[in-house]
Amino acid sequence: MLKPGSTIGILGGGQLGRMLAMAAAQLGYRCIAYAPEKDPVAGDVCADLFTNDWHDAKAMAAFAQKCDVITWEFENVPVEPLAPLTQRLAPHPRALETAQDRVLEKRFVENLGGRPAPWKAVDDRGDLMEAIERIGTPGILKTRRDGYDGKGQWRMASARDAEGFNRTGTPLVYEGLVAFEAEFSVILVRGKDGAVRYWDSPHNVHESGILARSSLPAPAVVTEQVESARALAKQVADALDYVGVLTCEFFATRQGPVFNEMAPRVHNSGHWTIEGAATSQFENHIRAICGLPLGDTATTGSAVAMENIIGKAAAKAHAFLADPDAHLHLYGKATAREGRKMGHVTRVTHG
């Protein structure tokens, strides 16, 4: 159990790190961030900030020396420079390795009995044509690595789109488009002793590949599938001997849950837990990596809605303060680029 006053290192400098650091502060810990990005908003609420490159071994060692435990908020942290830090890392970097490559991730989940969308690895045009012949259209071509928020994805409505596609050369994966009824996520926390707790699974709505809103209660088509989705998510967590918050995203289809992807970290679809659950995903992640008892994950309201504030919408975000039921979170980002997550607002209904 990590004593209050200990230091938690966070790899990555985005809003997830910012909210983790705020939860850690409440439990008496101090955080330092390592974030080689332009606008590391986690740095605003951390005691120290390293802005060095991921591959700067000297800086990484100096950072690690200051930390009692190290976690990440960004799933594309390169794994190789983390090797000397493994003893102090939670979760174990094998979770990062698996989640960073869509092909490894799908194979891993299939080996556990999970069902992703039909897929094929695509390295060249021949692979793409074969994939389309076997899986059919419509489908989505995605980069194997480094994709997030719908980036690095191309929809293929017909074989003709594939013929005109000229981005081969980067490792890709082709997926059949899933005709889903709804999307949802399983957000769980696993402690060092292997105990697992789940939050209620929200109904997630994406627009242009970016999460727009998450809400509870989820429709029946989701709640009926949560048990089997949870069973798979737990298998994933157990197989990785995972410590902390893990999120698995699913499509609810007429044939049951189809695994989309996993995020080995706190997740946007769990932001509602700050005001809408007995213990937030951020606090429970900190509890888990520090070896503290996990908190209750029960939903506290009868309904919860979390809406993302994206791009230029942030300029008008203070208008939400006129609504007494709205909890506004702004991430302190300087530039409101199109599609950039700038904040979120959560409403919890009681009674």
Q: Binding residue for ligand AMP (CB under 6 A) from 35, 141, 172, 178? A: 178
Task: Give dist(CA 131, CA 116) in Å, integer.
Answer: 15
Shortest reach from residue 195's CB to ligand AMP, in Å: 28
Cβ distance to ligand AMP smaller for residue 63 or 251: 251
Task: Decide if residue 309 touches ligand AMP (CB under 6 A).
Answer: no
Length of the chain counted residue by residue: 351
Number of residues engaging ligand AMP in binding (CB under 6 A): 13
Report phi then psi at 116, rounded to 5.
-85, 175
Q: Is 343 helix (H, G, I), strand (E, B) or coil?
A: strand
Nearer to ligand AMP, 205 or 321 (CB): 205
Q: Segment near ligand AMP (CB under 6 A), from 74-82, 177-185, 191-199, 343-351?
A: 177-185
The contacts of residue 23 (CB under 8 Å, 6+ apart) are 280, 282, 283, 285, 286
CB of 147 to ligand AMP, least distance (A): 6
Task: Tell me how far apart the alpha carbons of residues 244 and 287 are, in angstroms, rounded to a whole number.
Answer: 8
Q: Give least dist CB 106 to ligand AMP, A.
A: 11
C-alpha 200, offset from chain centre: 16
Residues 199 and 189: their CA atoms lie apart, in Å, by 9
Residue 260 makes contact with ligand AMP by CB under 6 A: yes
DSSP sequence for 220-237: HHHHHHHHHHHHHHHHHH
Find the binding residues for ligand AMP in span 238-257 (CB under 6 A).
Answer: 249
Is residue 261 involved in binding ligand AMP (CB under 6 A)? yes
Site string for ligand AMP, 82-121 (x = CB under 6 A): -----------------------------------x----
Task: Tell me which stretch binds ligand AMP (CB under 6 A): 10-18, 59-67, 125-133, 176-184.
Answer: 176-184
Cβ-based nearer residue to ligand AMP, 249 or 275:
249
Instruction: Decide: residue 303, CB within 10 A, 0-12 exposed, 13-18 middle, 19+ buried.
Output: middle
**Burial class of residue 339 in the structure, from the number of CB atoms within 10 Å of its CB (0-12 exposed, 13-18 middle, 19+ buried):** middle
By CB under 6 A, residue 122 contacts ligand AMP:
no
Q: Which of 36, 81, 171, 209 binds ligand AMP (CB under 6 A)?
A: 209
Of 67, 122, 140, 345, the one binding ligand AMP (CB under 6 A) is 140
In the set 136, 150, 171, 217, which binds ligand AMP (CB under 6 A)? Answer: 150
- Spatial distance between the Cα atoms of 46 and 54, rounded to a whole number of angstroms: 18
183 scored as a contact of ligand AMP (CB under 6 A): yes
Give Cα separations from 268 to 123, 130, 164, 244, 260 (angstroms).
31, 35, 34, 15, 15
Site for ligand AMP, rule CB under 6 A:
117, 140, 147, 150, 175, 177-178, 183, 206, 209, 249, 260-261
